[in-house]
Structure 1
Amino acid sequence: MTNDCSSRPDTETIATEISCLKTFITYILKALNQADAGRAILNMEKEILAMQDPKQAEVFQRIIEQIKTAYRS
């Protein structure tokens, strides 16, 4: 990949970038048909269940819940 997708090291910028990515993913899921979007979410939920680190799984689950809520709106 030749595009520069680097982030600035400050946490506020990174948090804003993450919010942007969550919104972008939500719009991508909305652009897919309902079956494919549902399958993608189910696959992520399976990944979360298989995670060894409970803190990481909790963060991922919270993000998936945010995306699901935005997807339904």
Structure 2
Amino acid sequence: MPRELAEPQIGTATVDPKNGDISFKIAQPDQPGASFKGKMTAQALIGSFDNKNWTNRKGEQTFRLPRIAGRQQSYPSCD
């Protein structure tokens, strides 16, 4: 059963500016947390969580969050 995070979280990410690798952790009070590892590109943030139960809307373990340039009226959904 898909589950969304209850509220936005602010945390620290580790980013390698040379190759775009990024990693961060998400903690949830009622569940085990998860670590994200991926890559930042000019078009999107792409990666996956070590918690294999977390999937995108298509049921895939790889998330692709498109970059948004400038001010927009609405935001695209994550794949």
Say yes or no: TM over 0.5: no
When normalised by structure 1's length, the TM-score is 0.26
For the pair shown, the structure with the greater C-alpha radius of gyration is: 1
State the structure with bigger RCO (CA 8 A, min sep 6), 1 or 2: 1
Kindly indicate which of the two structures has a greater share of residues assigned to strand: 2
